Structure 1
Amino acid sequence: MTARHDQQFHALHSEGLLLLANCWDAGTARLAIHAGSKALATSSAAVAWSHGYPDGGPLPPELLVSTVRAIARVATVPLTADIEDGYASDPARVAALARDVMRAGAVGINIEDGAGAPEVLCEKIAAIRRAAAEEGVNLFINARTDPYLRPLVAPDARMAEVLRRAALYREAGASGLFVPGVREAGEIAAIAAGCGLPLNVLVRPGFPPLEQLRALGVRRLSAGSDIAEMADSYIVHAMGEFLRSGQVAAPDAPPLAYPQLNALMAGNGG
């Protein structure tokens, strides 16, 4: 850890809007730093795809840790890692993974509830917080909650459910709240005002401009897997063009979206 990157990363969530162009290996981390990123964040999907696995759990945790270590080698800014649901249901195992990720160089993590009970994530967060204290790291635990991504509650109950979960996660020791899928400005503002944690949202087409997001109370904006989707789409189309024509040229083809890339990495994409 360089110059207390953990403290720097916490501070970045109180200094306006932190933009994270998610990376997936040491090379893309260097590119993000070159582009001006104030911190580095992995995308679980992009990391999994870079190793030939689909997103959603199949990536062996040791590959996640080795990826974090490789990125940390080149990092001159704070690094946070997406650990999905911790790759286990047992809080002790999740805390052990978080400890490995911290020792590899991360000062923040994303951990999600997904379709599971929020009480399970609370137990994981509490265990991770204890492990971080033992490691002497002021770990930024970004708790991701999925009512806007999954049919967990009725649409008109999503905001209330997010706020209910935010209170639980805050009490368990979370540092921030990640609510992917929320789009409407009024709901974003209400969650930011009511969650008691720095709010992280996931960029989507048609999102409010940056100045409006700042005014709504958003403190962190993530690119998620979008940049990796664009990069992988370019690669697969460029390779196809070369194999058809023997020429390397910029492909004029539609991008591959998340479902297509995930299926391809699962071996279902032909």
Structure 2
Amino acid sequence: MTHTMHTFDRYVDVLSALADPALVPELPTAGDGPVGASIGWLRATVCRFSSGESHRRRRAVVEAELARLEPAALWQAAAVGRAGELRTRVVRSLAQALGMPAPGAVAEAVIVVAGAYLGGADAGADAAVAQLVRQLAPEPADDAALEVVANRIGLLVQACEATAALVEAAADCGDRPLARVLREHPPARTMRRIAVRATELAGRGIAEGDVVLLDLATAQLTHPVPLAFGAPPRVCPGRAHALALAGGLLQRPLTPFARLHDQAAAPLLLPNAWDYASAAALAAQGFAAIGTTSLGVAAAAGLPDGSAVTAEATLALSRRLAQGSFLFTVDAEGGFSDDPKEVAELARALYDAGAAGVNLEDGRPDGTLAPAELHAAKIAAVKAAVPALFVNARTDTHWWGRQQEQTATRLAIYEQAGADGVFVPGLSDPDKIAELTATLLVPLNILYTPAGPALRELAALGVRRVSLGSLLYRRALETAVATATAIRDGQSADLTAPSYAEVQQLATARRGPR
């Protein structure tokens, strides 16, 4: 029976195809060979060429492997191990981080396997698969154990090709952010799907057995929001690791503050301070970094928040915080100007004062949103002026409750402009959070809310930074007023507080590295 090939290159059509359960990945020709010792067996056993329950089970293996690795550690390993051909260095660094024996030999075998991964019989690849299984499989190995080994090998193969391609593309793109390079030069430019049952796409009938060719690269050029896979959309589990490997191989700088966004165990929980004492007290409790709250800074100065009138107070606070031994990032509203050059000058001043990061928001005092292109220009100007400053680009679509349908588009534009992270305060719906993390390459920051998901759930959704915003400042005001009124009214009050000496001691810490 003859089957038809259908080609789609419109963004909306490709997105629909990727979410259609009737269209499944095309499995390359299996070829002959025994279980655990052939390229055909490997293709039939990895998650890349699977669907349904087998895909979910095999993907879980890959996710568990990657969950053991902190991307920052991968960056360091790749930066140190600079000897050898590019693909060898990629696989060797990852294999070593995963605790595999003889990572150099593993890398050599994986490169052979990668050459035949997408189809055809290959005796050399069969031998390489057999070698890898002998090295990585426990003795004795049942079918379940072999499936785990196959997906560990598959992880290395995909890292070999995709990360090497990213590094090569980035080398030709100057200092362009790696996330942007990955967007513009995706490792897979096309994708084939097979219809396992009849379906319809873009008004076109697709019969069972038909082939659907998706032109991912062309589709992506027409839309700022990256394509997502599956329904609901899935996060690529290795994207942060690939960017870290590429960054290390390219010797791209990775600041201590940036590393905090790539922790495997949990998102970075960022408490927000309003003066030196509150920041130092939080740092003394082990918080890895401290943010500032623009509401706290403005209210302490008797000024309204979000009105672009606290630039001097914000800069002064940054200079005071720099006395401490903690990393800190500054809430700078919208940069206190609509002139990208002026925003960049402020960012340079904040960095020179000691800040490791800055928040820039697109919300305006009147409750409207700045044009996305203007906000992107601010981000680009800041990154050009101060490359080492971590820019967290905030959109207020959910905070103001306006133009929420633009959230993903705005974040994609800000990411492409060079943002190191993106922030959506007011968003707490788990499904909507998952939709965003499925398309983002940079860390997503969410504002904590007691009614929203807990930290563990946010981590599972792919969130990598959680801010407390003005919560602590407002709680401090509440506690101060409640204590004073209780004493005035002759009521009992909880008077637990740091001692005078303990507060005095907060000023003795010294500044650490950014």
TM-score, length of structure 1 as denominator length: 0.82
Q: 1:77 aligns with which of 305, 315, 326?
A: 326
Query: Hey, what does 2:168 align to over in structure 1?
Result: none
Q: 1:210 aligns with which of 445, 451, 455?
A: 455
Q: Structure 1 residues 212 and 246 mapped into 2: Cα distance closer, same or farther (>3 Å)?
A: closer
Aligned partners of 1:127 and 1:185: how far apart in 2? 33
| Mapped pair 1:183 → 2:428 | yes
Aligned partners of 1:249 and 1:70: how far apart in 2? 32
Tell which deviates more after alignment, 54-63 or 165-174.
54-63
Give 1:24 shift. Answer: 1.2
| Mapped pair 1:143 → 2:393 | yes
Tell which deviates more after alignment, 19-28 or 228-237.
228-237
Aligned partners of 1:200 and 1:58: how far apart in 2? 23
Give 1:241 shift. Answer: 4.5
Query: Hey, what does 1:132 align to over in structure 2?
Result: 386
Give the secondary-structure state (helix, strand or coil) at the position aligned to 1:73.
coil
Contact 1:6 1:107 in 2 (8 A): no
Structure 2 residue runs without a partner (length 5+) = 1-252, 364-368, 496-514
Contact 1:47 1:64 in 2 (8 A): yes
- Counterpart amino acid of residue 105 in structure 1: G
Give the secondary-structure state (helix, strand or coil) at the position aligned to 1:200.
strand
Structure 1 residue runs without a partner (length 5+) = 252-270
| Mapped pair 1:8 → 2:256 | yes
User: What percent of counterpart residues are identical?
Assistant: 39
Q: 2:361 aligns with which of 112, 132, 157?
A: 112
Aligned partners of 2:457 and 2:310: how far apart in 1? 39
Aligned residues: 236
Aligned partners of 1:38 and 1:148: how far apart in 2? 28
Q: 1:68 aligns with which of 290, 310, 318?
A: 318
Greater RCO (Cα-Cα under 8 Å, separation 6 or more): 1
Query: Hey, what does 1:50 align to over in structure 2?
Result: 300
- Counterpart amino acid of residue 417 in structure 2: A
Aligned partners of 1:169 and 1:60: how far apart in 2? 24
Q: Structure 1 residues 183 and 213 mapped into 2: Cα distance closer, same or farther (>3 Å)?
A: same
Aligned partners of 2:362 and 2:441: how far apart in 1? 18
Aligned partners of 2:331 and 2:254: how far apart in 1? 16
Q: 2:375 aligns with which of 109, 121, 124?
A: 121
Give 1:58 shift. Answer: 5.2
| CA RMSD across the alignment | 2.0
Give the secondary-structure state (helix, strand or coil) at the position aligned to 2:273.
coil
Q: C-alpha deviations, 1:204-247, integer Å up to 9, x for none?
A: 122222221111000000000011000011223333445x4588
Give 1:51 shift. Answer: 2.1
